[in-house]
Amino acid sequence: MTTILLSFLTAFFLTLLITPLVIRIAQRFGLVDHPTERKIHTIPIPRIGGLAIFSSFFLSLGLLYLFRQYSDPILLLFNDSRIFKFSIGAVIIFALGMVDDIRGLSFKVKFAGQIFVGVVAWYCGLRIGTISFPFIHSLSLGYFSLPATMFWFVLVINAINLVDGLDGLAAGIALFVCLTMLFICAPQSGLITTTLAFACLAGCLLGFLRYNFNPATIFMGDSGSYFIGYSLAALSIAGSMKGQVATAMLIPVIAMGVPLFDALWAPLRRFVLGKKMFMPDMKHFHHNLVKMGYTQRRAVLFLYSVTIVLGLGAIMLVHARDD
């Protein structure tokens, strides 16, 4: 527990320190998100907050490395080859998002990049090979493992990206998902690597919320939403490999219910209305709450509460499965 807390606090304080530096860099080079008819903010806001989250996450791992001789969990973390494999995809997806934040990329390029990252993750062993559901036997995917893994990564990455429409919404939802998975993975002795990674990511998200919650002084941008989405997708798979929750991918699906359902519903809604399935609009759940009269803060807090309830449901499902 001490190591988990150390990981969380290290990432938290690093993000508190690094984010103001990133804000100044964005303002210096004009890397800001200007108001448009599709956006709610009324003044230019720095849009490369993903740089703060990404750098804080890996710097926190680097600081933990210095204590590896004094902590068995940290030593296990850096002896686990999955950390290096996770890092490969993380760097690729972050770079893709950062290029999009700075120069802009077409949807086809971004989609192709996300698929590529899914393939890289599968090749590195972060794959969905089996799916189990509550109270029934597991289902082996066989040859469908690769497309299932690709779909999972693309879905979660885009889910976090699409829900990033109000100040603090994506970061807050991702934070509660991390805490849910942290609570589920922590008791499993074989999941210490995943537990510490979730703790670091949760600390980064909480620190970033200090500047991203309404009124936001920085946005995470695609670099942030892509990295967070990739991390949640990869760590959820890693957290479902061993222990009592073996390959129960239903658990992270429930925890991420709000962004995942929105990501699946949006293209279907556009298709039914005869619009381009992947054309951005302002009809996501959070936009509709604002149109109903909710303030940004109330809408965000409402969706936080839904995520918390879903997270508690996922935790209860794990205990029911164990029993």
Average pLDDT over residues 300-321: 85
Backbone angles phi and psi of 128, in degrees to 5:
-95, 105
The pLDDT confidence band at residue 100, using thresholds 50, 70 and 90, is very high
pLDDT of residue 242: 46
Provide the token pair at 119. 């393939």
CA distance 241 to 247: 5
The pLDDT confidence band at residue 97, using thresholds 50, 70 and 90, is very high
pLDDT of residue 71: 80
For the chain, the maximum distance between any two Cα atoms, rounded to a whole number of angstroms, is: 60
Cβ atoms of 55 and 18 within 8 Å: the answer is yes
Provide the token pair at 261. 């359902």
The pLDDT confidence band at residue 261, using thresholds 50, 70 and 90, is confident
pLDDT of residue 259: 81
Checking if the pLDDT of 321 tops 50, the result is yes
pLDDT of residue 112: 96
Checking if the pLDDT of 90 tops 90, the result is yes
Checking if the pLDDT of 23 tops 50, the result is yes
The overall average pLDDT reported for the chain is 85
Of 172, 155, 133, nearest to 306 by C-alpha is: 172
The pLDDT confidence band at residue 273, using thresholds 50, 70 and 90, is low
- Count of C-beta atoms within a 10 Å radius of residue 60: 26
Residue pLDDT, tens place only, 157-205: 998 998 888 899 999 999 999 999 898 887 776 788 889 999 999 999 9
Average pLDDT over residues 302-306: 92
DSSP characters over 45-94: EE--HHHHHHHHHHHHHHHHHTTGGG-HHHHHHHH-HHHHHHHHHHHHHH
pLDDT of residue 81: 82
CA distance 93 to 90: 5
CA angle 294, 312, 185 (to 5 degrees): 125
Average pLDDT over residues 297-315: 90
End-to-end CA distance of the chain, in Å? Answer: 24
Percent of the chain with pLDDT over 70: 86
Of 283, 60, 45, 29, nearest to 168 by C-alpha is: 45
DSSP characters over 114-152: HHHHHHHHHHTT----EE--TTS--EE-GGGHHHHHHHH
Checking if the pLDDT of 297 tops 50, the result is yes
pLDDT of residue 110: 95
Residue pLDDT, tens place only, 108-130: 999 999 999 999 999 998 888 87
pLDDT of residue 245: 39
The pLDDT confidence band at residue 222, using thresholds 50, 70 and 90, is very high
Average pLDDT over residues 269-297: 71
Query: At what angle are helices 192-212 and 81-102 packed, to 10 degrees?
Result: 20
pTM recorded for the entire structure: 0.89
pLDDT of residue 244: 40
